[in-house]
Chain A
Amino acid sequence: MNHELLVTVVCGVSYLVAGFAVYLHIRGQVWWANPVSRVAAAAAIGLNLAYLGRAIALEGLVSTFEHSFDAIVLLSTLIGLVALGTHLAPRLRGLDGLLFLAAGVVAFSAIFVLRQPSGVMSARPWFISHSLAFAVSGVFFIAGGVAGIAYLLVNWMLRRKRLALVRKVPPLESLERFGRWMPIIGFPVFTYGILTGLCGVAHRPDFATVWYRDPTFLFAIAAWLIYAYMTASLMYRPRIRGRRAATLATYGLGLVIVIFLAREFLSPLHQ
């Protein structure tokens, strides 16, 4: 087993254990659940950071993030950190479990790009901004989408009067505020990522004839339009709030996943 696979499996399992422990903590009085979730999350984040630190030390910053694997490790680390942050915020307790699960899924998804050769974009200054901007905005959108899912679940629970988990999951108002700020912060970073990508490839002679054949680019533009609408609505339209805003954020999360899949599997041009 090489060390990339080991990092993926250990981190993925640790995140899933952390998420499951949070679930146990919410469901019942399992006193050890909280310490277990913290230790598991800290282990996963620590291992991820150690791996990234080692990779950067050996290969340099740009070369490290040329690899899809390393970019995914960075993404799962950032989601794990956001999850740990929500775990430490009493009003968002419960959201951490979903975020840990998201981090676990992202960590495991690195298995699919484990053997992928590094790209040909090496050492271009714009590339590092482009890839980091997408990773960072991805974290915000995933966190916002997960908050949206959590909002819909809590809303369903309250409206259907399934009140067994009352006060064990975060209040709707907190989830809404968290879910509102995540895309608002993530959107400018995402825009920056698209712009750096455009600047990087616009000088290529074949750009005008190939851009519309790249699914990643098309889905990214679709996601940008949705997030632009969502950000504007969240800021200026009072009707888009609560369940509607949560639903939109969930769709946004779906698109982020589609972009990721398109980039990895359907987009030879982007690769």
Chain B
Amino acid sequence: MNTRTLVIGCNHRSASVEVRERISFNDEVAARALRELRTRYPACEAVLLSTCNRMELYLASPPGGPPGVTEAINFIAEFHGVPAAEFVECLYHYEGAAAVRHLFHVVCSLDSMVLGESQILAQTKRGFELARSAGTVGGTLDGLFQRAFSVAKEAHTKTAIAAGRVSVGSTAVDLAHQIFSHFDDKIIMMVGAGKMGELTLTHLLDTGPKRLWVTNRTDARAVALAEKIAQQHLVAVEAVPFAQWIDHLAEVDIVIASTSASEPILTARQFAPIPARRGYRPLLLIDIAVPRNIEPAVAEADGVFLYNIDDLQAVVEMSLAHRREAVGHCHQIIEAHVVEYLERCSRQDLGPLIAALQNHFRGVADSELQRILPKLGDISENDRALLEQMLHRITQKLLHDPISHLNQAAANGGAHFYADALRAMFNLTSEEEKEKE
């Protein structure tokens, strides 16, 4: 590659949260850092990816030119005012093909804490957009990141890397979606104030239910909980007295039970009259309490779907197993794209060299033509054009085979030897520079 690509950073495996938080960048700070980096190294391209689990700086600069690894580490240290010695041990860095491969792994979520999570792709896109608006993205990083996004898309569509849910809350949402097709007429009731229950409720609120009821064995706590949820999620929440919660089951569609009661708070006997009162509509009961809050026999009624924490956990495990199975296929996709990307870069790098070679040959032919023309005397315009054409065709034919070989070598990743030989033999370096000028 004509440009050096480098990534330097740390992630949840290489650095503790104490280190990560000291060298992380929020959007505003990242934009400032990128601009500062550009001021310091004008020829360099940069993209910053900073999430709660990783901080990575992607750089593209002319070969041999700054910033290298040391300059990048110093820049991060100086920007954050943190001595480099405090975090340098936690950093990893990759260059060239390894950097490309690492980025593809990151966007495909193979390097994430939760395998296959889709957030990292959105975060990478945001980091890339931020760098673009800061003006630190050029041809190299633009091509690299666009390719990375298409690799991620391919991995997500062709493999099961992002299949299924990997949290209890989102699994509960999936179950709700499997039973109900729409939620704008549904009522959700949360029984108890367990942390897990609240987390599950947070996921379910995204479905946009019609109403939300909260109840607790201590009524005052139910009122406080309703107020807390209303404030946190900006939704209308009603507190229901615990003595009446079973009566309310006639109207409710989804129940999340997470009290710390040692005995079931809903038995099959208590539930028996409910299905008829609710017109046999389906009812989803999510019991994530241990010991369980709902007697298993309740699920025997028609249209009642009862799941406990083990059921939900089993789905999570199943999804993770599917994702792990897909890792091998993802690696294959990534490797194919890395090879293709590098080949493309090599071909692009050869463009100026080929142009220089053609110019060199044309120059020789032209000078020979200029030398011979006065000796030919008074020749017609037609004859002159014929001579020019002949020289042009000879030049093209002479160059056809070497250029084909060069392109073929580029495709096989071995163009550098030929390129160097051509530059040395025909003194093309200066011509390439002229091209650039």
Contacts and interface: CB of A to CB of B under 8 A. Distances in A.
A172 interface: yes
Contacts of B160: 28-29
A244 B302 contact: yes
A167 B163 contact: no
Given A163-B175, A173-B181, A174-B181, A29 B158 contact: yes
Contacts of B158: 29, 31
B182 A161 contact: no
Contact of B307 (A29, A154, A161, A242): A161
A166 B170 CA distance: 12
Nearest to B308: A161
Interface in B299-340: 299, 302-303, 305, 307, 311, 314-315, 318, 326
Q: In which size bucket is the chain B interface?
A: 20 to 34
Interface string A164-175: 101101111110
B280 A161 contact: no
Interface string B177-194: 111111000000000000
Interface in B232-268: none
B209 interface: no
27 contacts: A29-B157, A29-B158, A29-B159, A29-B160, A29-B326, A31-B158, A91-B181, A158-B305, A159-B305, A161-B311, A163-B311, A163-B318, A166-B174, A167-B177, A169-B178, A170-B181, A171-B180, A172-B178, A172-B282, A173-B180, A173-B181, A173-B182, A173-B282, A239-B280, A242-B282, A242-B303, A243-B302
Interface residues of A, number: 25
Interface in B156-214: 157-160, 163, 171, 174-175, 177-182
B302 A31 contact: no
A238 interface: yes
B279 interface: yes
B404 to A, nearest CB: 35
Given A167-B178, A171-B177, A173-B282, 19 more contacts: A29-B160, A158-B305, A159-B299, A161-B307, A161-B314, A163-B175, A163-B315, A164-B318, A166-B178, A167-B177, A170-B181, A172-B179, A172-B180, A173-B179, A174-B181, A238-B279, A241-B279, A242-B280, A242-B303
A115 interface: no
A247 to B, nearest CB: 11
Interface string A226-246: 000000000000110111100
A171 B178 contact: yes
A244 B303 CA distance: 10
Contacts of A164: 318
A15 B257 CA distance: 45
7 A-B pairs with the lowest CB-CB distances in the bound complex, closest first: A238-B279, A174-B181, A173-B181, A171-B181, A29-B160, A242-B303, A31-B158
A31 B157 contact: yes
A54 interface: no
Contacts of B279: 238, 241
Contacts, number: 68
Interface string B267-297: 0000000001001111000000000000000
Interface of B: 157-160, 163, 171, 174-175, 177-182, 276, 279-282, 299, 302-303, 305, 307, 311, 314-315, 318, 326
A12 B314 CA distance: 39
B255 to A, nearest CB: 16
A154 B299 contact: no
A235 B181 CA distance: 20
A245 B158 CA distance: 38
Interface of A: 28-29, 31, 91, 154, 158-159, 161, 163-164, 166-167, 169-174, 177, 238-239, 241-244
Nearest to A169: B178
Contacts of A171: 177-181
A21 to B, nearest CB: 16
A170 B181 CA distance: 8
B307 to A, nearest CB: 7
Nearest to B159: A29
A230 to B, nearest CB: 16
B423 to A, nearest CB: 45
A163 B314 contact: yes
A161 B159 CA distance: 25
Nearest to A157: B178
Contacts of B305: 158-159
B302 A242 contact: yes
Contacts of A158: 175, 178-179, 305
Nearest to A178: B181
A152 to B, nearest CB: 12
Nearest to B311: A161
A242 B179 CA distance: 11
A159 B163 CA distance: 22
Nearest to A171: B181
B402 to A, nearest CB: 41
Given A238-B280, A242-B280, A166 B157 contact: no
Contacts of A173: 179-182, 282
